C-alpha cells in the first residue's frame, strides 16, 4: 500500500461537528432546507445573520473556468494543459504544483470549492471528457490525484473528487446505466477516488449516470455503502448539476447537497430543484424526518467549518501575484506531458542550424486547441503554434493554410497540425473526419518528412497513416503556453519525457468498451441532446470486467498502435541490477525493489520507470500486467541512478467478491520493471507464502 501524509484541515472533524451542532440549533427548518438545496447555480447558501458564509463553487481540473455572468468574476485564470497531459508527465510533484496553482487562483477569485479533480477512468477513446481525466490506469491516476488533492487543499480550497462513479461516457450521460460488477468497481473505478479520499479530499460529486440501476446521486449503495462506509469519506457530498429525480431517495442515500439549486433557464424541463421544493411536504407526509435534514445540513456546515471557511475570507488578492509562477508550471507540464510517439530516422529534433525550411500547416496553428464544457479555461498570454514556432525557428518557417501539392513537395520538413475538439456533454468518433485523414495521407505521399502534431483529449485513429508520417507528437490540449513547449521539443531545447497514460488502439472495435452506443444511434454535439431526458435509459455493460486499457489488449492478444506507458526520448536509458529484498515473503512484509537506470545517450533527459506485477496462477482471471509503482528520474548523459520502489501485500491482491475485500493469493508473482507496458527490461519471480 502506498502511503502519503494526508491533508489535515485547520479544524478537526470532532471540533467542526460540535460547532456545526451549535449553529444548527439557530437555523430554522426553512433555512436548513435552503442550505441543502444549492443556491443560484454555483453557490452554497449563506446566512449573514448566523455568520454562515455564502460559498462559491467553480470548475475545474485544468484551471479556473471564469463565469462572467456571475458577480465579480476573476479577471483572468491560467489555462493549464489538460489533466490527461498532466497524467502523461507521470510527475507527482508537478501534479501537486499544478493543483496548488489552481488553488491559489481559486483564492484570488473567491472560489471556496473547486469542482475538480475529475478522475473517471479512460474506458473508451470516444468519451468527450477524457481530456479532463487521468487516463486508463488506476495506479497512475491514484498517485496523480492524491497529489492534486494535497496541492489544491494546501491553499485552503476544497477539492471535489468527481464524478462518482462509472461516468465513463458522455453519450447521453443523463440516461445511461453503467452495469459494473463488484470486483471491477473496486480494482478499476474506485481506486483513484480512494486515493483522493485518503489524501484528505473534502468533497465528492456524484455522477449523472445510474450505477447498476439507480442514479448515482440518489443511490444508497453508492453513497452510504461505498463512499461513506467502505471508503470512509466523511465530508461533503454533492450531486452533479441536475442529476437527481427522487427527493426521498436523495435525502436517504447519504447525499448532502443537491446542486445547483435553480432550474435551468434554457431547458426548463431539465433540472427541477427536487430537494428544496419537496422537503417540507415530505416531512409532513413523514417520508423523511427532521434528522435527515439535520444530517445533510450538518455535513455541509462541518466541512465548511473544518476547512476554516467561517471567519476567514476566501478571496485574497495576494494570490494575483502568483500568476507568473503558474504560467511556468503550466509550461513545465506541457514540456513533460507532450508525448513523442514516433521519430523515424531521428527527424526530430530539428536543429536550428538545419538548412531545411519548414512548412507549418493544419488546423490548430492560429488558435490553441482545448477541451470544451465546464472545464474550459480561456487563459491569457496565449501562445499559438505559429507564434511559438516562429520564435523558435524564425525565418525558416513558412505558414501556409492550404498549401498546393508543389509547396508540400518542396518543403524540407512539413509540420501538420491535426486534432479533435472534445467536450463535455457528448462523445466523438475515434476516427478523424475523412478529409483530414486524406490530407495527412496526401501530404505523406508528397513528402517523406511530415511531422504530425496531434491536439486531442484522448486517443484517435492513426492506423492508416502512422507508418507514413516521419514523426508523431501527441500534444494533447497543451494549455495557454504549451505550444512553446511543443516548439522547444521540436527544436531539441527540451527532451520529451511524456509517456502515454492510455493505450491507443488501431481500430475502435479493438477496444474494450466497443460497442457501448446503442445500435443505430449517432454522435451528437449539442446541449439539447445532452439534456434529453426522454432518451431511453441505455445499459452499458462493463463486460470486460477488470480488463480495461492495456489489461484488455494484452489479455486478448490485440496489438494496439501505441502502448500504455510508451513515449520516446532523444536519449536512451539502460536498466540493470534488479534486486528485490526478499524472494520469498510473508503477509504484511514490505518488499524493497531496487534497480539502476543509466542515461546511455548523449543528451540529458527524464525516464519514467514503471513497475508491473503479474500473478502466475490465480483463482480468478487476472491481467498479464498491473502497474503498481513508477518513478520519473532525470539523468544527465552517462549518469546512473539507483531507483527504489516498495511493494506491499495489497499490491499483489485482487478484489475478492466473496470476501468483499482485497486478497493476495499465496504463490508466485513476477515483478517487472519496464520503460512502457510493452517494454519490460528487468524481471524477477517472488513468492508469497500462505
Residue positions annotated with a catalytic role: 240
Pair type for strands 471-474 and 450-455: parallel
The span from the CA of 254 to the CA of 238, in Å, is 10
Look up residue 266 and give its three cell numbers: 434554457
What is the nearest approach in angstroms of ligand BGC to the Cβ of residue 242? 8
Nearer to ligand BGC, 374 or 677 (CB): 374
Listed in sequence order, the residues at least 6 apart from 150 whose beta carbon sits closer than 8 Å to its beta carbon are: 4, 6, 7, 96, 99, 199, 200
Check if the beta carbon of residue 278 is closer than 8 Å to that of residue 4.
no
| String of contacts with ligand BGC for each residue 66-95, x by CB under 6 A | ------------------------------
Q: Whose Cβ is closer to ligand BGC: residue 115's or residue 369's?
A: 115
Site string for ligand BGC, 365-404 (x = CB under 6 A): ---------x------------------------------
Rounded to the nearest whole angstrom, what is the least distance from the CB of residue 118 to ligand BGC in the complex? 6
Alpha helix ranges (H) inside 40-188: 83-89, 92-108, 138-153, 182-184
* Closest CB 259 distance from ligand BGC, rounded Å: 7
Query: Per CB under 6 A, does 157 bind ligand BGC?
Result: no
Q: How far is the CB of 374 from ligand BGC (least distance, A)?
A: 4
DSSP letter for each residue of 432-483: PPHHHHHHHHHHHHH-S-EEEEEE-SS----TTTTTTSSEEEE--S--TTHH
State the number of binding residues for ligand BGC (CB under 6 A).
6
Span 300-339, contacts to ligand BGC by CB under 6 A: none
Cα distance between residue 134 and residue 88, in whole Å? 8
Q: How far is the CB of 167 from ligand BGC (least distance, A)?
A: 8
| Cα(439)–Cα(443) distance, integer angstroms | 6
* Closer residue to ligand BGC in complex, CB, 115/331: 115
The residues facing 339 across adjacent strands are 474
For position 43 contacting ligand BGC by CB under 6 A, the verdict is no
Residue 188 carries which DSSP code?
I
| CA angle, 187 then 61 then 7, to 5° | 70
Q: How far is the CB of 549 from ligand BGC (least distance, A)?
A: 23
List strand residue ranges (DSSP E) for 532-637, in order: 538-541, 573-580, 584-585, 591-599, 605-615, 626-635
Angle between helices 92-108 and 323-337 (to 10 degrees): 150
Half-sphere exposure of 22 (CA within 13 A, CB side): 7
Cis amide leading into 595 (omega within 30): no
User: 65 or 625, CB closer to ligand BGC?
Assistant: 65
Decide the pairing of beta strands 397-399 and 573-580: unpaired
Shortest CB 114 distance to ligand BGC, Å: 9
Cβ distance to ligand BGC smaller for residue 127 or 347: 127
Q: For ligand BGC, give the closer residue by CB, 115 or 231.
A: 115
SS3 for 103? helix
Q: Which three cell numbers stand for residue 554?
A: 494484452
Build a one-symbol-per-residue string for 198-237: x at contacts with ligand BGC by CB under 6 A, - elsewhere: ----------------------------------------
Nearer to ligand BGC, 240 or 336 (CB): 240
Q: What is the 3-state secondary structure (H, E, C) of 631-644?
A: EEEEECCCCEEEEE
Rounded (10°) CA dihedral 165, 170, 176, 180: -40
Instruction: Check the CA dihedral 598-600-606-610 and report its sign.
Output: negative
CB nearer to ligand BGC: pick between 540 and 643: 540
| CB closer to ligand BGC out of 173 and 551 | 173
Q: How far is the CB of 564 from ligand BGC (least distance, A)?
A: 25
Nearer to ligand BGC, 97 or 132 (CB): 132
Give the separation between CA 449 and CA 345, rounded to whole angstroms. 10
DSSP secondary structure letter of residue 17: H
- Cα angle 522, 523, 528 (rounded to 5 degrees) comes to 105
Tell me the per-residue interface mask from 425 to 444 with ligand BGC, x by CB under 6 A, - otherwise.
Answer: --------------------
- The helix or strand, by DSSP H or E, that contains position 22, with its residue range, turns out to be helix 13-26
Helices 92-108 and 138-153 pack at an angle, to 10 degrees, of 40
Say whether 176 sits in a helix, a strand or coil.
strand
Binding mask 48-67 for ligand BGC (x = CB under 6 A): -----------x--------
Least distance in Å: CB of 521 to ligand BGC? 21
Give the residue, chosen from 137, 198, 240, 626, that forms a contact with ligand BGC under the rule CB under 6 A: 240
Q: Contact between 162 and ligand BGC (CB under 6 A)?
A: yes
Q: Shortest gap between Cβ of 267 and ligand BGC (angstroms)?
A: 12
Q: What is the dihedral of CA 133, 137, 139, 143, to 10 degrees?
A: -20
**CB of residue 55 to ligand BGC, shortest distance in Å:** 14
Q: Which CB sits closer to ligand BGC, 204 or 231?
A: 204
The phi-psi region of residue 243 (left if phi > 0; otherwise alpha if psi is between -120 and 50; otherwise beta) is: alpha
Dig out the grid coordinates for 351 from the structure.
536543429
Which residues ranging from 114 to 133 are in contact with ligand BGC (CB under 6 A)? Answer: 115
Nearer to ligand BGC, 77 or 374 (CB): 374
Q: Which residue has the cell 499490491?
A: 651
Q: Shortest Cβ distance from residue 303 to ligand BGC (Å)?
A: 17
Residue from 215, 241, 477, 595 binding ligand BGC (CB under 6 A): 241
Residues of this chain, 514-553, that bind ligand BGC according to CB under 6 A: none
Q: By the criterion CB under 6 A, which residues form the site for ligand BGC?
A: 59, 115, 162, 240-241, 374
Amino acid at each position: 500500500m502506498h502511503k502519503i501524509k494526508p491533508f489535515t484541515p485547520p479544524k478537526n472533524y470532532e471540533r467542526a461537528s460540535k460547532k456545526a451542532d451549535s449553529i444548527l440549533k439557530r437555523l430554522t427548518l426553512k433555512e436548513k432546507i435552503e442550505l441543502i438545496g444549492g443556491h443560484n447555480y454555483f453557490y452554497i447558501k449563506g446566512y449573514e445573520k448566523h455568520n454562515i458564509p455564502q460559498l462559491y463553487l467553480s470548475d475545474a481540473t485544468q484551471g479556473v473556468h471564469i463565469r462572467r455572468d456571475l458577480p465579480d468574476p476573476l479577471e483572468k485564470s491560467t489555462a493549464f494543459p489538460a489533466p490527461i497531459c498532466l497524467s502523461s508527465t507521470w510527475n507527482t510533484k508537478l501534479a501537486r504544483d499544478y493543483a496548488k496553482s489552481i488553488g491559489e487562483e481559486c483564492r484570488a477569485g473567491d472560489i471556496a470549492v473547486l469542482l475538480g479533480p475529475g478522475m473517471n477512468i479512460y474506458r473508451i477513446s470516444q468519451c468527450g471528457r477524457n481530456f479532463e481525466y487521468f487516463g486508463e490506469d488506476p495506479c497512475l491516476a491514484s498517485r496523480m490525484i492524491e497529489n492534486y488533492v494535497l496541492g489544491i487543499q494546501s491553499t485552503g480550497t476544497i477539492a471535489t473528487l468527481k464524478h462518482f462513479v462509472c461516468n465513463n461516457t458522455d453519450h447521453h450521460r443523463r440516461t445511461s446505466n453503467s452495469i459494473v460488477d463488484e470486483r471491477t468497481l473496486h480494482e478499476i473505478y474506485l481506486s483513484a477516488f480512494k486515493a483522493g479520499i485518503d489524501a484528505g479530499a473534502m468533497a465528492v460529486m456524484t455522477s449523472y449516470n445510474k450505477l447498476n440501476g439507480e442514479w448515482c446521486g440518489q443511490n444508497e449503495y453508492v453513497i452510504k455503502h461505498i463512499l461513506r462506509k467502505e471508503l470512509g469519506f466523511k465530508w461533503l457530498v454533492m450531486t452533479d448539476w441536475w442529476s437527481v429525480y427522487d427527493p426521498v431517495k436523495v435525502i436517504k442515500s447519504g447525499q448532502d447537497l443537491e446542486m445547483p439549486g435553480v432550474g435551468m433557464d434554457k431547458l426548463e424541463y431539465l433540472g427541477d430543484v427536487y430537494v428544496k421544493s419537496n422537503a417540507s411536504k415530505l416531512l409532513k407526509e413523514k417520508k423523511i424526518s427532521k434528522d435527515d435534514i439535520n444530517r445533510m445540513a450538518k455535513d455541509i456546515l462541518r466541512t465548511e467549518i473544518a476547512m476554516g471557511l467561517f471567519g476567514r475570507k476566501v478571496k485574497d488578492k495576494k494570490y494575483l501575484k502568483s500568476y507568473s509562477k503558474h504560467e511556468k508550471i503550466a509550461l513545465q507540464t506541457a514540456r513533460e506531458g507532450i508525448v513523442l510517439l514516433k521519430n523515424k530516422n531521428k527527424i526530430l529534433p530539428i536543429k536550428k542550424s538545419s538548412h531545411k525550411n519548414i512548412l507549418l500547416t493544419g488546423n490548430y496553428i492560429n488558435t490553441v486547441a482545448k477541451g470544451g464544457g465546464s472545464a474550459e479555461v480561456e487563459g491569457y498570454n496565449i501562445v499559438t503554434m505559429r507564434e511559438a514556432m516562429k520564435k523558435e525557428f524564425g525565418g525558416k518557417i513558412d505558414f501556409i493554410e492550404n498549401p498546393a501539392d508543389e509547396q508540400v513537395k518542396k518543403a524540407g520538413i512539413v509540420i501538420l497540425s491535426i486534432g479533435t475538439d472534445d467536450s463535455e456533454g457528448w462523445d466523438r468518433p475515434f476516427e478523424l473526419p475523412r478529409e483530414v485523414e486524406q490530407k495527412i495521407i496526401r501530404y505523406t505521399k508528397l513528402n517523406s518528412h511530415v511531422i504530425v502534431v496531434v491536439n486531442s483529449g484522448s486517443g484517435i485513429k492513426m492506423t492508416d497513416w502512422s507508418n507514413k508520417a516521419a514523426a508523431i507528437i501527441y500534444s494533447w490540449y497543451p494549455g495557454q503556453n504549451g505550444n512553446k513547449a511543443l516548439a522547444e521539443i521540436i527544436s531539441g531545447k527540451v527532451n520529451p519525457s511524456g509517456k502515454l497514460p492510455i493505450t491507443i488502439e488501431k481500430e475502435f472495435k479493438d477496444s474494450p468498451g466497443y460497442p457501448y452506443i446503442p445500435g443505430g444511434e449517432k454522435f451528437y454535439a449539442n446541449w439539447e441532446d445532452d439534456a434529453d431526458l426522454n432518451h431511453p435509459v441505455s445499459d452499458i455493460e462493463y463486460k470486460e470486467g477488470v480488463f480495461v486499457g492495456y489489461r484488455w489488449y494484452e489479455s486478448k492478444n490485440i496489438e494496439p498502435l501505441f502502448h500504455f506507458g510508451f513515449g520516446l526520448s532523444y536519449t536512451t536509458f539502460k536498466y540493470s541490477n534488479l534486486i528485490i529484498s526478499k524472494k520469498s515473503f510473508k503477509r504484511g512484509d514490505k518488499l524493497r525493489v531496487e534497480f539502476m537506470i543509466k542515461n546511455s545517450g548523449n543528451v540529458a533527459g527524464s525516464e519514467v520507470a514503471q513497475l508491473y506485477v503479474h500473478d502466475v496462477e490465480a483463482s480468478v482471471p487476472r491481467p498479464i500486467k498491473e502497474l503498481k509503482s513508477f518513478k520519473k528520474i532525470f539523468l544527465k548523459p552517462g549518469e546512473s541512478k539507483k531507483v527504489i520502489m516498495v511493494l506491499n501485500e495489497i499490491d499483489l491482491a485482487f478484489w475478492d467478491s466473496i470476501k468483499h475485500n482485497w486478497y493476495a493469493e499465496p504463490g508466485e508473482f513476477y515483478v517487472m520493471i519496464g520503460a512502457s507496458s510493452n517494454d519490460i527490461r528487468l524481471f524477477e519471480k517472488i513468492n508469497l507464502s500462505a
